Structure 1
């Protein structure tokens, strides 16, 4: 056995109670999708890749260690996350340039979707290092196919801003996209996020998918306002959440006038017309001139 070469024992995995030996990997970066909850949602090709790789590059090595242990894989783990990426990336690229076969995984699902793997893949491609995809589970697609919303076009946004004003502004920027919108969201912010989606987008069809592929998987469907009202009256849910919002209705304006008037009216309660217009414009992404003109009209009615 050559120095640095893995023994057959370390290039194997266990599935369905059977031990299988993995074929040697070609050098390069192998991007491997892993389960989003149910450990059974992984392919034999993914297991063989993880077993045969010289190392597995993982966001959180504790999470990936559990997966590898479940399938009897003993490949070394290397931590690569947003806090150490700038330092680790040159080292990983150097190993790849020397002919290593490295497997890249995220904590769950397909790498590069809301995780730091993009720069590593981009720089590997720029260095003419082979990059191979080993496809599999994805929370985005898993949620999309059970939501009951149009699937011919969709836009994945990831996480919206944490603060309401910035969140509403970003939602307004997405409002005219002619497809289903897909978001990740924190359980503690999901009720507020639904309220902001309702304020900007009105009563579009929507779905909330929680704990997909796990024991407590739930999918709630309905109008945005219905979901917002229900979540506001309940304790914060637990687990991973994907929010999906249907595309604009044929006769839906960019921002419903009634919603815009409500926002302006509330702002006028504590601000001047000028300041209210600036605030609502920032929150919704609507042109300040348009909002200011409407604020003047509403303010005149109140007098």
Structure 2
């Protein structure tokens, strides 16, 4: 996976579709070290002879009481992606808790990965919404986004289909009083970012393209700066910042990336950093991410955590055209 064209081809392959972060494994941090304080060790590790034996990736982290709960994607000996759960009292002491669904009750038989959890508070009572990508029965690629809910963040209802698309890495947030979902997708062999409005009845409006980048893209992350949503997009060489204009399209929010990859000088478990999830409920600015060693490594993706300097990050952004 040495270039964006190769990466696009792999996005269309079921067998390895969620291993695509490997495509940038020949890179490491060159610019942006003043923003991020990377952890030295994984917080979720692969585990031999298990459903987590090859990769553990794509974390989504949220608070339940005083504890952290993480949903992540595991890929193991049977070569199927599943969403699993881990809990912790801080950002590093995670304990795996296993699968979140009774797979006998799932309305699909394929892979499911890329979880995104949104926590809602209504009259002080928390509920949790989960959105994730699914390879439906017989589909050659990820073909839908499903949704589930939970009253405690630990036990999840049987999911239902939200929308049909070649959708990866959904992100859900509120904008101008409306719930939005955004995700990456393939269109005529090219990567795009799409958006759809979520209706009150739990369904989704038809989606539309909000960004057609020149280079290949993959994973997404979101954080808020001055109450404005900033989308962080993983590209071939960097993490780039975008925001929304008055027409709800994505525009560049910085003249330079917030993180640029450089040549790997030594082998590390996180020579490549991707799959970013900005955990905004943490006591300090925190981002979880996937790490893998180097170019050509086909297994070993693990989850790490870093702190970042919000003031330094904000200083890199230009939000004057952002709505």
Structure in which a larger fraction of residues adopt strand? 2
Bigger Rg over Cα: 1
Using the size of structure 2 for normalisation, the TM-score is 0.25
Structure in which a larger fraction of residues adopt helix? 1
